[in-house]
Copies of this chain bind each other. A is one copy, B any other.
C-alpha cells in the first residue's frame, strides 16, 4: 500500500536561492520557480536519481507555510510525501489505525495535479505526512 517516496519538501524564504546550492555544490538538476497561487507556494524541484527535493516558498498572505517559515528563519524540512495506489483506501486505513487526517479528509488536487491528503505530524513521529495518489 505504501509506494515510492514522492518528495521531501523543504520550506524556505527563497526557493530558488535554496535550490541553487544543490545545483552549484552538488551539480544537481533544478527546475525553474513555479508559482502556484492556488496552493500559496512557489516551488523549485531538485531532481535526484530516485526521488526529488521540493523547495517551497510562501506565496501570498494566506500561504499555508507562512508561519513555518516565520518560525524557521533558515528554512526547515516541512513534510514527506509518499505515493499510494488508492488514496481513499489509504486514508481509511490510516484513520482506522489512529492517524488524524488534516482538514475535512476529502482529497484535494495537489501541486502535481493529483489528489493529496495530509496527516497530523503527531501521529507520524513529528513528521507531517502527505500522501499522493500515484
Contact = CB atoms under 8 A, between A and B. Distances in A.
A25 B18 CA distance: 34
B94 A25 contact: yes
A133 to B, nearest CB: 14
A50 B99 contact: no
Interface string A75-86: 111001010100
Contact of A74 (B77, B84, B90, B122): B122
Given A2-B27, A25-B99, A93-B25, A18 B125 contact: yes
A82 B2 contact: no
Contacts of A82: 26, 48
A17 B16 CA distance: 37
Contact of A126 (B2, B12, B49, B53): B12
Interface of A: 1-5, 8, 10, 12, 18, 21-22, 24-28, 48-51, 53, 55, 72, 74-77, 80, 82, 84, 90, 93-94, 96-99, 121-127
